[in-house]
């Protein structure tokens, strides 16, 4: 895995870099595990734009990923490592011994020909999926479930990994990449190892056109708009709004709580990703 930097033949090339995709083994997707997804451009079922600055972009084909990893007792061989336009990490195609094929998130260090397994009594090596209660403390994991049997919800981005730090009864304590420490039931499954494509965060977009290819339209500041379009718009000269930052509907943008207090999972957070002073917790 590496980053390719081109010669500055234009202003956009000068500050941009791309992935060399050295880990990929094929550019042909498994058609039986793909389906079309319809774009909505940030609009709801009524056609109203509920998410701003979305639209356009290259057409994508969705790859059905096996986040549950519930095929126990059947070894699977890695047949290819592929690019997925819908996520930052790569994906691997598994060929099970009974003939079934499934896509999984590609763990770092896994190559074509490796044999992976799922279950309670499998070897705790990279790429194998096990319940958290069966994974030794100190190992890195990804694709962690929040509710047993629901499928992995946490740690699914490129280069991400959580670490198991303690076990107490029916609960396992893990530290997420954000620094948050939370407790998860021991029956919840996770895949051992760190996710691939760790240099994704070091890639420089370089120009606005590449963001348009991703379906992201230009983001306009509220103070640069007219009063009819935004509460912070208008004013003589370069006015700073005269009020706290907010959305076009007046919802405060800073300092407000964004988590739903009715969610049960919040009760199992031991340490937030930010402390009370707003500094990141390491």
- Is the separation of the CB atoms in 164 and 135 below 8 Å? yes
The alpha carbons of the chain give a radius of gyration, in whole angstroms, of: 22
Cα-Cα end-to-end distance for the chain: 27
DSSP string, 132-185: GGGSPTT-EEESEESSTTS-EEE--STT--EEEEEEETTEEEEE-TTS-EEEEE
pLDDT tens across 85-131, in order?
A: 999 999 999 999 999 999 999 999 999 999 999 999 999 999 999 99
Which has more confidence, 268 or 83?
Answer: 83
pLDDT at 258 over 90: no
pTM, two decimals, is 0.90
Beta-sheet strand order (sheet of 91-96): 101-105, 91-96, 76-82, 115-116
What pLDDT score was predicted for residue 1?
Answer: 62
Class of domain 3-200+259-271: mainly beta
Torsion 161-167-170-175 (CA) sign:
negative
Which DSSP symbol is given to 115? E
pLDDT tens across 128-185, in order?
A: 999 999 999 999 999 999 999 999 999 999 999 999 999 999 999 999 999 999 999 9
């Amino acid at each position: 895995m590496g980053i390719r930097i081109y010669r500055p033949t234009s202003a956009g090339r000068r500050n941009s870099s791309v992935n060399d995709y050295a880990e990929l083994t094929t550019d042909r997707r498994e058609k039986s595990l793909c389906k079309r997804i319809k774009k909505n451009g940030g609009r709801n079922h009524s056609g109203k734009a509920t998410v701003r600055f979305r639209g356009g972009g290259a057409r994508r084909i969705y790859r059905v990923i096996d986040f549950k990893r519930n095929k126990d007792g059947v070894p699977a061989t890695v047949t290819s490592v592929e690019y997925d336009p819908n996520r930052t990490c790569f994906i691997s195609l598994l060929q099970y011994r009974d003939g079934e094929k499934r896509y999984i998130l590609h763990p770092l260090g896994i190559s074509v020909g490796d044999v992976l397994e799922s279950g309670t009594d499998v070897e705790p090596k990279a790429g194998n999926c096990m319940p958290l209660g069966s994974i030794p403390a100190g190992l890195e994991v990804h694709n962690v479930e929040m509710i047993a049997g629901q499928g992995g919800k946490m740690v699914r981005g490129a280069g991400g990994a959580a670490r198991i730090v303690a076990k107490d009864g029916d609960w396992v304590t893990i530290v997420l990449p954000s620094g948050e420490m939370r407790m998860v039931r021991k029956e919840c499954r996770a895949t051992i190892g760190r996710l691939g494509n760790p240099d994704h965060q070091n890639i420089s977009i370089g120009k606005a056109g590449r963001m348009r290819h991703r379906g992201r339209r230009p983001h306009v500041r509220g103070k640069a708009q007219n009063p009819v379009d935004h509460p912070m718009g208008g004013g003589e000269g370069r006015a700073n709004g005269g009020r706290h930052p907010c959305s076009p509907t007046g919802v405060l943008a800073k300092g407000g709580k964004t988590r739903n207090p009715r969610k049960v999972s919040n009760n199992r957070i031991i340490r937030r990703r930010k402390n009370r002073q707003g500094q990141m917790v390491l």
